[in-house]
Amino acid sequence: MEINISNNINKIHEIQTEAISIGIFSDEDLINSSEITRKIDSDTIINLIKNDFQANIGQIIVLYNINNILAKRIILVGLGKKTKFSVDNYIRAEETLVKTCISHNISEYCSALIMRLDTNICKKTAIRNAVISIKNATYKYTETISEKENKKIRCFTIVTNEKDQEKIKNGADEGNYIANGISLSRKLADLPSNICTPSHIAKTAKELADEFDSISVNIMDYEQVYKLGMRAFISVAKGSKEPLKFIEIMYKSNKKNNKDPIVIIGKGITFDSGGISLKPSNSMHEMKYDMCGASTVIGLFKVIPQLKIDRDIIGLIPACENMPSGNSNKPGDVVSSMSGKTIEIINTDAEGRLILCDALTYAKKFNPDLVIDIATLTGACVIALGNVYTGLFSNNDEIAKKIIRAGKSSKDPVWRMPVDISYLDLLKSNFADLSNTGGASAGAITAACFLSEFAETYKWAHLDIAGTAWKKNNKGSTGRPIPLLVNFLIDINNGN
């Protein structure tokens, strides 16, 4: 979707387009509320508006072929009471508008809704978040569908004034960058696992390096991973014929600073059968989404170069399948991790922490200022937080506060959970340094505590996205937590 900016708000009735939208407050004179409505000279239409349009939040009315207005349609969008109109309401109005345009087969339209925000509200941030929401609303998976729908928004123009034009353009550009990263992440996650293999993720990472000069990519295969001592990672991958990949993505900032890099790790299990500890069949098809941590990293690294983040950032993706075979891990096996710590495998379906622990150890080589890992790690996190909040675990209060703040500002919220040494008792083993599962109680917490044992030398945060990475109803990936991570990096970039 092409996004344009016009400062022609005072002559909006002269814009030739398929549709122009304006926002109407319920507590104002509807007919005299804008240049557009003042041009309406039909008593029939005026009476229709007065009788059938109360301008409640989300209410829409579409008018056709109005005299004195060059646009083919006018779309009036209800905004509710002016005193209660917020940025959230504005974003919802833009979402409602774009869905209306899609349902009416409108391929290009103009929106002046941004002009109804109060002058003391940061329009740059508002339009950035609105563009993300608009493009999310227009995302549709089509990669493996033979007959494509023709309903598609080709062009969206934001109508504003000359004073606000530059900041709105900057916000729209940022929103477009972020939305494109989210779309890439969603597409990868939605692909079936016979297409989105570890090799496919590696190929997509290489395409980022081709697209951006500031990005380089290193792909490691079995032999290199074996030499590094990543036996925990290998133990999961060996059950599948699909070869593992350890993907290293490096963003080099243009600006020189003395700050240590940030490392972001994404769990890349491209299909999780559970291994020998086999999952129930009724929802196993959803386990293609067990690589949403990896798709988050890929999508994020499409955004970072375009925002020109002033910090070296490294992405790590351990990617493989978790499959049952004669070579698979067995309950009771003991494996050695890259750190040297040994792990007893109680449940082969607790495999994500096995591949992440080696990535967390590998991250030490970069002397990181901070490491964040992202994983669809535990069903227990879904039970605890549902599909609204991502689970946040951290060994650093300051970092946790910054992530929580970024989640609030991006409408991609997290909820902090404990990482307490007391829970480590549940991970004790008689046959190894650690067990890979702590049993039924506090499952999300014990999983995070397991990871914390491999993140002792740096600031660390773990995001359990098992409940927020995809939707069961209206099935598909969400692209979370890319909005959160982008806002977090922007805040750090701005010294916050």
Asked if the model's pLDDT at residue 316 lies above 80, the reply is yes
279 annotated active-site: yes
pLDDT of residue 258: 75
Q: Which of 313, 450, 320 is nearest to 393 (CA)?
A: 450
The answer to whether residues 154 and 291 belong to one domain is no
Q: Which of 124, 186, 245, 353 is catalytic?
A: 353
Give domain status of residue 167, yes or no: no
| DSSP H helices in 220-284 | 222-228, 231-237
Q: Which of 204, 210, 167, 214 is nearest to 183 (CA)?
A: 204
The answer to whether residues 321 and 469 belong to one domain is yes
Distances in Å between the alpha carbon of 287 and those of 85, 254, 271, 279? 40, 39, 5, 9
Give domain status of residue 106, yes or no: yes
**Which helix or strand (DSSP H or E) is residue 305 part of?**
helix 292-307
373 annotated ligand-binding residue: no
pLDDT of residue 243: 99
207 annotated ligand-binding residue: no
- CA angle (234, 263, 455) in 5-degree steps: 65
Domain boundary among 133, 160, 187: 160
Give domain status of residue 173, yes or no: no
Q: How far apart are CA 268 and CA 246, in angstroms?
A: 9
CA 109 to chain centre: 26
The answer to whether residues 155 and 187 belong to one domain is no
Contact 247, 293 (CB under 8 A): no
Average pLDDT over residues 193-214: 99
Q: 124-142, pLDDT tens digit by residue? A: 999 999 999 999 999 999 9
Average pLDDT over residues 345-358: 99
pLDDT of residue 271: 99
Asked if the model's pLDDT at residue 300 lies above 90, the reply is yes
Q: Which of 132, 271, 139 is nearest to 201 (CA)?
A: 271
pLDDT of residue 68: 86
The region of weakest confidence among 82-86, 252-256, 392-396 is 252-256
Domain boundary among 160, 194, 229: 160
353 annotated active-site: yes
Amino acid in position 230: M
Domain of 392, CATH number, reads: 3.40.630.10
Q: How far apart are CA 263 and CA 364, in angstroms?
A: 9
290 annotated ligand-binding residue: yes
Q: Which range marks the domain in which residue 286 is found? A: 178-493
The answer to whether residues 219 and 275 belong to one domain is yes
Number of structural domains (the chain) is 2
Distances in Å between the alpha carbon of 458 and those of 25, 208, 209, 370? 51, 28, 28, 6
Q: 14-61, pLDDT tens digit by residue? A: 999 999 999 999 998 877 777 788 888 777 777 877 788 889 998 999
Query: Terminal CA-to-CA distance of the chain, rounded, Å?
Result: 32
The answer to whether residues 40 and 85 belong to one domain is yes
Give domain status of residue 170, yes or no: no
The answer to whether residues 246 and 134 belong to one domain is no
Give domain status of residue 228, yes or no: yes
Q: 150-169, pLDDT tens digit by residue? A: 778 999 999 999 999 999 99
Q: How far apart are CA 129 and CA 122, in angstroms?
A: 11
The answer to whether residues 289 and 427 belong to one domain is yes
The answer to whether residues 119 and 196 belong to one domain is no
118 annotated ligand-binding residue: no
Instruction: Calculate the average pLDDT of the chain.
Output: 95
Average pLDDT over residues 340-347: 98
Q: Which of 250, 247, 278 is nearest to 262 (CA)?
A: 250
Asked if the model's pLDDT at residue 149 lies above 80, the reply is no
pLDDT of residue 278: 97
The answer to whether residues 188 and 259 belong to one domain is yes
Q: Which of 81, 279, 411, 416 is catalytic?
A: 279
DSSP 391-440: EEEES-HHHHHHHHHHHHHTT--EEE----GGGGGGG--SSSSEES---S
pLDDT of residue 360: 99
pLDDT of residue 9: 87
Asked if the model's pLDDT at residue 323 lies above 80, the reply is yes
Q: Which of 88, 90, 66 is nearest to 78 (CA)?
A: 90
DSSP 56-84: -TT-EEEEES-TT--SSEEEEEE---GGG
Average pLDDT over residues 276-302: 97
Distances in Å between the alpha carbon of 269 and those of 148, 197, 233, 350, 448? 29, 9, 11, 11, 17
Q: 226-243, pLDDT tens digit by residue? A: 999 999 999 999 999 999
Give domain status of residue 168, yes or no: no
The answer to whether residues 348 and 448 belong to one domain is yes
Domain of 95, CATH number, reads: 3.40.220.10
Give domain status of residue 166, yes or no: no
272 annotated ligand-binding residue: yes
Give domain status of residue 459, yes or no: yes
The answer to whether residues 240 and 201 belong to one domain is yes
pLDDT of residue 37: 80
pLDDT of residue 120: 86
Q: How far apart are CA 100 and CA 62, in angstroms?
A: 9
